[in-house]
A and B are shown apart, each in its own frame.
Chain A
Amino acid sequence: MPKSFFIDTSRCTACRGCQIACKEWYELPANKTKQTGTHQNPPDLNPFNYKLVRFNEHLEDGVVRWNFSPDQCRHCIDPPCVYVGADIMEGALIHDEKTGAVVYTEKTEKISEADFEQIRSSCPYDIPRRDPKTGRISKCTMCYERVSQGLKPVCVAVCPTGTMNFGERADMLAMAEKRLNEAKKDYPKAMLADAESVSVIYLLIDDPRYYHPYSVAQQGFGLDRKMFLSRLGRPFRKTLNLFADV
């Protein structure tokens, strides 16, 4: 049975336990960061941060809306990166049908920077990052090894608020629907982000643009989704950026 995450952002306090635990579990090198006027640090996903809690704030009728979203790979049901990757190097980007995990292997080290850019721009959520030293492309692995041993992903295991949930897809969808109905009472704009096409379902309680530009996939123009996401390559990213601020 495929697995899914359910990320209930209405419960997130931005403690960043998930972000730090992910780095610890994978023993990823620390980044040397600076304070730049935001709590979001490191400023973006990077080859050593598979997970990043994003901060966004605005005033709505005099009330502060401070939205947190723990950003990570969505492990798409039809992963465009894997379609693009299959043309570039077989076995580098894998979609595990059993768990639904999208996993990047060490073979990605042999992928050129230009080909990586194509993979990155195929991602509707701008997730893959490349280590310029080794060439390795990395992102969230759905804690594939932990899950195959019956454990939960480490970000879910450490979450103290119930924001991060993981389990059978059917259970997670049911949980998401239940929480959506509850959240709608207080937050009329509450929605599930792309629930039918990803394995990482976010409950957002505000307009998606008040999270970050890639909080929901930007798609449209009546094209077949798979074609649109996987074949447009670089121009797709430009299209995304055009719509990011709308």
Chain B
Amino acid sequence: MDKLAKPADPAYPIVLTTYSVTEHWCGGGETRNIAYLLDAEPQLYVEMSPELAKEKGIKNGDGILVESILGKAQAIAMVTVRLRPFTVQGKIIHEIGMPFCFGWTTPGCGDSTNRLTASMGDPNTTISEYKACCVNIRKLDKLTELS
């Protein structure tokens, strides 16, 4: 659980950030049982820029695998202009975004994004750092966690 990737580890070059959606409350443990809400946001997805998708040979709606040093999660690619590559110290750094409202208690919706996020936090407030970590992505031909 306390494994951490080295700074600028080339195996995990992409920055992952996580967020919530209007349709599900927090981890979604309650709202995923409400069929109408699951209708509107049914499965785990990854928002990424068209530039990153092109680099990785991923099309909108493709199944992908997201890996961090801690774990893996399958999701659907959502290619969108809302995500833009950053230029950091002359290098292009890609950012991707995932919601954290899905999990194994709802079969077929994808697993928890917290399988990827780092297990660390602020020692004073004990608030954990689930907003950002470093990952890599690749296209998957077959999805087992989403159906």
- Measured CB to CB, the residues of A under 8 A from B are 14-16, 19-20, 23-24, 30-39, 41-42, 57-59, 64, 66
- In the assembled complex, the Cα of A57 lies from the Cα of B84 at a distance in Å of 14
Question: A41 near B61 (CB under 8 angstroms)?
Answer: no
Query: What is the minimal beta-carbon distance from A33 to any residue of chain B, in angstroms?
Result: 5
Give how many A-B residue pairs fall within 8 Å (CB-CB): 62
- Contact for A37 among B23, B37, B45, B146, CB less than 8 A: B45
Query: What is the minimal beta-carbon distance from B110 to any residue of chain A, in angstroms?
Result: 8
Question: A35 near B44 (CB under 8 angstroms)?
Answer: yes
In the bound complex, residues from chain A placing their C-beta under 8 Å from that of B23 are 16
Question: A64 near B39 (CB under 8 angstroms)?
Answer: no
Question: B22 near A57 (CB under 8 angstroms)?
Answer: no
Q: How many of chain B's residues have a CB under 8 angstroms from any CB in A?
A: 24
Question: B76 near A33 (CB under 8 angstroms)?
Answer: no
Question: A20 near B40 (CB under 8 angstroms)?
Answer: yes
Chain B residues numbered 28-71 whose CB sits less than 8 Å from any CB in chain A = 35-45, 60-62
In the bound complex, residues from chain B placing their C-beta under 8 Å from that of A20 are 36-37, 40
Interface centre among B37, B39, B60 (most CB of A within 10 A): B39
Given contacts A57-B81, A57-B82, contact A41 B42 (CB under 8 A): yes
- Measured CB to CB, the residues of B under 8 A from A are 22-23, 35-45, 60-62, 76-82, 146
> Which label, helix, strand, loop or mixed, suits the secondary structure of the A interface?
loop
Question: B39 near A35 (CB under 8 angstroms)?
Answer: no
* Closest partner residue, chain A, to B83 (CB atom): A64
Given contacts A20-B37, A23-B36, contact A37 B81 (CB under 8 A): no
Q: A16-B22, A66-B82 are in contact. List 17 more A-B contacts (CB 8 A).
A: A20-B36, A23-B39, A30-B39, A31-B39, A33-B40, A34-B76, A35-B44, A35-B45, A35-B76, A36-B61, A37-B61, A41-B40, A41-B41, A57-B81, A59-B81, A64-B81, A64-B82
